């Protein structure tokens, strides 16, 4: 069974950068649509960025477009989220998720997926 383990969160100043990692085991991410989600206290979980397992297509929510980049390292079976120009409103617990092949827009709109990481805290504050 696919398992996802996240790392890379932390405390950064506004304008700073972080790279989150989501290491998969038990199955290859080649067969899954993947995505990053975040949830701030008192708010619902939202999709941030998602990518296709087959085409390399990517999707970003408008609030992070141009600042965040999702990528995969197939050899390491790992997905990354590079976050640049971080803002305080980016503060949240970030989760990676995987689902069976799915349109990337649908992946990010949906918040129920069969495979989730444990989450990693990202705090953007001066």
pLDDT tens string 59-113: 999 999 999 999 999 899 999 999 999 999 999 999 999 999 999 999 999 999 9
**Which H or E run includes 122?**
strand 120-124
- The per-residue pLDDT for 50 is 97
Is the per-residue pLDDT at 55 higher than 80? no
Strands 46-51 and 18-25: unpaired
User: In whole numbers, what is the pLDDT of the chain averaged over residues?
Assistant: 95
d(CA 89, CA 51): 23
Distances (CA, A) of 7 to 4, 10, 54, 79, 112: 10, 9, 25, 11, 21
């Amino acid at each position: 069974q696919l398992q996802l383990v996240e790392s890379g969160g932390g405390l950064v100043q506004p304008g700073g950068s972080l790279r989150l990692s989501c290491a998969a085991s038990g199955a290859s991410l080649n067969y899954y649509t993947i995505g990053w989600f975040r949830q701030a206290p008192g708010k619902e979980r939202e999709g941030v960025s998602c990518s296709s397992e087959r085409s390399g297509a990517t999707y970003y929510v408008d609030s992070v477009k141009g600042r965040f980049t999702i990528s995969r390292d197939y050899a390491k079976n790992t997905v990354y989220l590079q976050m640049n120009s971080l803002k305080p409103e980016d503060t949240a617990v970030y989760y990676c998720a995987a689902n069976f092949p799915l349109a990337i827009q649908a992946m990010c709109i949906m918040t129920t997926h069969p495979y989730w990481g444990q989450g990693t805290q990202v705090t953007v504050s001066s």
